[in-house]
Chains A and B, each alone.
Chain A
Amino acid sequence: MDFDISEEQELLQATVRQLAGNECPLTRVREIFDGDSGHDPELWKSLVEVGLGGTAIPEEFGGAGLELLDLALVAECLGSAAVPGPFLGHSLAGLAVLFAGSEEQKKSWLPRLAMGDALGTVAFAEEGSGWQPNEWTLRANGTLRGTKQHVPYGSLADLIVVGTADGGLVLVETAADGVQSEPVDGADRTRRLDHVSFDGASCEALPAGPQASGRVRDAGLILLSADAYGGAARSLEMAVEYAKTRQQFGVTIGHFQAIKHQLANMAIEVDPVRFLVWYAAHAFDHVPDESERTAALTKAHATSVFMQTARDSVEVHGGIGYTWECDVQILFKRAMFDRAFLGAPRVHRERAAVLGGW
Chain B
Amino acid sequence: MDLSYGEAYEAFRKEVQAFLAENWPPRAEAAELPRKDQVDRFRDRAVDAGYLARSIPRKYGGSEQPPDALRASVIGEEFRKLRAPMDPVGLGVGLLVPTLLERGTDWQKEKFIRPTLRGHIRWCQGYSEPGSGSDLASLQTKGELAGDEWVINGQKIWTSGAQIADYCFCLVRTEPEQPKHAGISYMLIDMHQPGVEVRPLRQMTGHSGFNEVFFTDARTPKDWIVGERGEGWLVSRTTLKHERSGLMNVGQATGQLPALVKLARRSLRDGRPAVEDPEVRQKLAEIEGYMKANEYALYYRATRGRKGRDAGRIQLMAKLIRSEITQEVAKLAMELIGDDGLLAGGGELGMRERPSDNRGWVSSYMGSLGGAIAAGSSNIQRNVIGERGLGLPRDWAAQRSK
Q: Point out residues on A near B: beta carbons under 8 Å.
A: 1-6, 69, 240, 243-244, 251-252, 254-255, 257, 259-261, 263-265, 267-268, 271-276, 278-279, 282, 294, 297-298, 300-301, 304, 346, 349-350, 352-353, 356, 358
Indicate whether A268 sits within 8 Å of B1 (C-beta atoms), given known contacts A352-B288, A358-B264, A358-B281: no
Residues of chain B with a CB closer than 8 A to A350's CB: 278, 281-282, 285
Residues of chain A with a CB closer than 8 A to B303's CB: 1-4
Interchain residue pairs A-B with the least CB separation, the first 4: A301-B289, A275-B296, A349-B285, A260-B386
In the assembled complex, the Cα of A298 lies from the Cα of B289 at a distance in Å of 7
Flag whether B204 is at the interface (Cβ < 8 A): no
In the assembled complex, the Cα of A264 lies from the Cα of B389 at a distance in Å of 8
Residues of chain A with a CB closer than 8 A to B281's CB: 349-350, 353, 358
In the assembled complex, the Cα of A297 lies from the Cα of B389 at a distance in Å of 27
| Chain A proximity of B106: nearest CB distance (Å) | 37
Picked from A240, A255, A276, A352, the residue with its CB within 8 Å of the CB of B396 is: A255
What does the 1/0 interface line of B290-333 toward A look like (CB < 8 Å)?
A: 10111011011011100100000110010011001000000000
Picked from B275, B299, B324, the residue with its CB within 8 Å of the CB of A275 is: B299
Residues of chain B with a CB closer than 8 A to A259's CB: 392
For B309, the closest partner residue in chain A by CB is A4
Flag whether B390 is at the interface (Cβ < 8 A): yes
For B70, the closest partner residue in chain A by CB is A1
Residues of chain B with a CB closer than 8 A to A264's CB: 320, 381-383, 385-386, 389-390
A353 near B296: Cβ-Cβ < 8 Å: no
| Chain B proximity of A249: nearest CB distance (Å) | 11
Main secondary structure of the interface of A (DSSP, over half): helix
Picked from B290, B313, B395, the residue with its CB within 8 Å of the CB of A301 is: B290
For B2, the closest partner residue in chain A by CB is A2
Give me 5 A-to-B residue pairs in the complex whose CB atoms sit less than 8 angstroms apart, sorted by A's number.
A1-B3, A244-B393, A300-B289, A350-B278, A358-B261
Indicate whether A282 sits within 8 Å of B321 (C-beta atoms), given known contacts A265-B382, A272-B296, A346-B282: no
What does the 1/0 interface line of B35-55 toward A look like (CB < 8 Å)?
A: 000000000000000000000
B282 near A297: Cβ-Cβ < 8 Å: no
| Chain B proximity of A211: nearest CB distance (Å) | 26
B2 near A349: Cβ-Cβ < 8 Å: no
Flag whether B286 is at the interface (Cβ < 8 A): yes
A268 near B385: Cβ-Cβ < 8 Å: yes
Residues of chain B with a CB closer than 8 A to A255's CB: 392-393, 395-396
B285 near A254: Cβ-Cβ < 8 Å: no
In the assembled complex, the Cα of A75 lies from the Cα of B324 at a distance in Å of 29
The CB with the most chain B CB atoms within 10 A, among A265, A274, A346, A349, is that of A349
Near A by CB (< 8 A), chain B positions 1-55 give 1-6, 9
In the assembled complex, the Cα of A352 lies from the Cα of B261 at a distance in Å of 13
Indicate whether A276 sits within 8 Å of B293 (C-beta atoms), given known contacts A3-B1, A261-B382, A268-B324: yes
Flag whether B271 is at the interface (Cβ < 8 A): no
B1 near A69: Cβ-Cβ < 8 Å: yes
Picked from B70, B284, B320, B324, the residue with its CB within 8 Å of the CB of A353 is: B284
A353 near B285: Cβ-Cβ < 8 Å: yes
In the assembled complex, the Cα of A6 lies from the Cα of B309 at a distance in Å of 13
A279 near B292: Cβ-Cβ < 8 Å: yes
Indicate whether A272 sits within 8 Å of B294 (C-beta atoms), given known contacts A255-B396, A264-B382, A264-B386: yes
| Chain B proximity of A253: nearest CB distance (Å) | 9
The CB with the most chain A CB atoms within 10 A, among B292, B320, B389, B392, is that of B392
Residues of chain A with a CB closer than 8 A to B282's CB: 346, 349-350, 353
Indicate whether A301 sits within 8 Å of B379 (C-beta atoms), given known contacts A1-B299, A267-B313, A267-B385: no
Residues of chain B with a CB closer than 8 A to A4's CB: 1, 300, 303-304, 307
Residues of chain A with a CB closer than 8 A to B385's CB: 264, 267-268
In the assembled complex, the Cα of A5 lies from the Cα of B282 at a distance in Å of 31
Residues of chain B with a CB closer than 8 A to A252's CB: 393
B387 near A260: Cβ-Cβ < 8 Å: yes
12 new A-B contacts, CB < 8 A, other than A254-B392, A297-B288, A353-B285, are A3-B300, A261-B382, A263-B390, A264-B381, A264-B383, A264-B385, A271-B314, A278-B296, A301-B289, A304-B286, A349-B285, A353-B282
A263 near B300: Cβ-Cβ < 8 Å: no
Indicate whether A267 sits within 8 Å of B317 (C-beta atoms), given known contacts A3-B299, A275-B296, A358-B284: yes
In the assembled complex, the Cα of A258 lies from the Cα of B386 at a distance in Å of 11
B1 near A272: Cβ-Cβ < 8 Å: no
For B275, the closest partner residue in chain A by CB is A358
Residues of chain A with a CB closer than 8 A to B70's CB: 1
Residues of chain B with a CB closer than 8 A to A279's CB: 292, 296
B293 near A267: Cβ-Cβ < 8 Å: no
Flag whether B251 is at the interface (Cβ < 8 A): no
B289 near A1: Cβ-Cβ < 8 Å: no
In the assembled complex, the Cα of A261 lies from the Cα of B390 at a distance in Å of 11
| Chain B proximity of A76: nearest CB distance (Å) | 15
Flag whether B391 is at the interface (Cβ < 8 A): yes
A267 near B261: Cβ-Cβ < 8 Å: no
Indicate whether A3 sits within 8 Å of B3 (C-beta atoms), given known contacts A272-B296, A300-B286, A350-B278: yes
In the assembled complex, the Cα of A344 lies from the Cα of B383 at a distance in Å of 34
The CB with the most chain A CB atoms within 10 A, among B288, B293, B307, is that of B293
A261 near B386: Cβ-Cβ < 8 Å: yes
A271 near B297: Cβ-Cβ < 8 Å: yes
B321 near A243: Cβ-Cβ < 8 Å: no
| Chain B proximity of A64: nearest CB distance (Å) | 18
In the assembled complex, the Cα of A356 lies from the Cα of B317 at a distance in Å of 28
A278 near B386: Cβ-Cβ < 8 Å: no
| Chain B proximity of A125: nearest CB distance (Å) | 22
Residues of chain B with a CB closer than 8 A to A358's CB: 261, 264, 275, 281, 284
The CB with the most chain A CB atoms within 10 A, among B3, B9, B307, B313, is that of B3
| Chain B proximity of A248: nearest CB distance (Å) | 13
In the assembled complex, the Cα of A255 lies from the Cα of B386 at a distance in Å of 10
A1 near B2: Cβ-Cβ < 8 Å: yes
In the assembled complex, the Cα of A76 lies from the Cα of B297 at a distance in Å of 17
Residues of chain B with a CB closer than 8 A to A271's CB: 297, 313-314, 317
| Chain A proximity of B340: nearest CB distance (Å) | 22
In the assembled complex, the Cα of A259 lies from the Cα of B288 at a distance in Å of 28
In the assembled complex, the Cα of A5 lies from the Cα of B395 at a distance in Å of 36
In the assembled complex, the Cα of A243 lies from the Cα of B391 at a distance in Å of 10
A282 near B3: Cβ-Cβ < 8 Å: yes
